[in-house]
Structure 1
Amino acid sequence: MHPSDTPCYQSQWLDLSVVDCLIGLLGNFIPSYFLSRRSPKRVGNRHTIAAPWNLYPTSDGYVVICTGTGGIDWWKTITKVIDFPELEFQSTGLCRSLKPQRHANIALK
């Protein structure tokens, strides 16, 4: 923070780089790039690791469902919240191969 040069106003200005602010948004992409040396693919609103994580259409608009690995019953809780108990069986043996299936199943709901 720096004081303003204008004597009649008691204001301050902040010298902050846009790049400094944006680095935090690249959390999953930076390690992925440096490990594989390939540019990440576009995933839209999805998350590169967690699933489901997207913007889903509903009968009266849209809802954002963002989950992670929040404990033993996290997937079971999500299936109850979205009223889709048929997906509960997927709560064991989670793996990356189920991510596209989860996105598709919830999008169809």
Structure 2
Amino acid sequence: MATEIRKISYSDFRKHLGTEMKFVHEEMGHLWLFQHGHPRGVVIPMRDEAVLHRAVGLNPVESFHRAMVACDRTIAAINERSRWVSTEVMTQPGHMWPALGMTDESYAQWRAMDRSRG
């Protein structure tokens, strides 16, 4: 779910402090504080502060590289899993085991086809 961002002036923030802090705390929203039409600060939930704290001082090139490596590993794992789930495994010549992750209906179809083969 995307984080909701609200723009609010300092004076409105002071008037509705309780309501706006409830928005930040309970709905995990972000408040952008404006003064005379210019952005001056942001109020964020503590959950996002932990992420921000880790990100401060990181080299963006290194962060991007780490994200790309993690993405490549995830894609490789998905491809590897789909390779094993979608194929039958031959244990002995002429005898096949069903693919992993079959539903009851697909297993019944596979079993009927296996019986007709041999």
TM-score (norm 2): 0.22
Larger radius of gyration: 2
Of structures 1 and 2, the one with the larger relative CO (CA 8 A, separation 6+) is 1
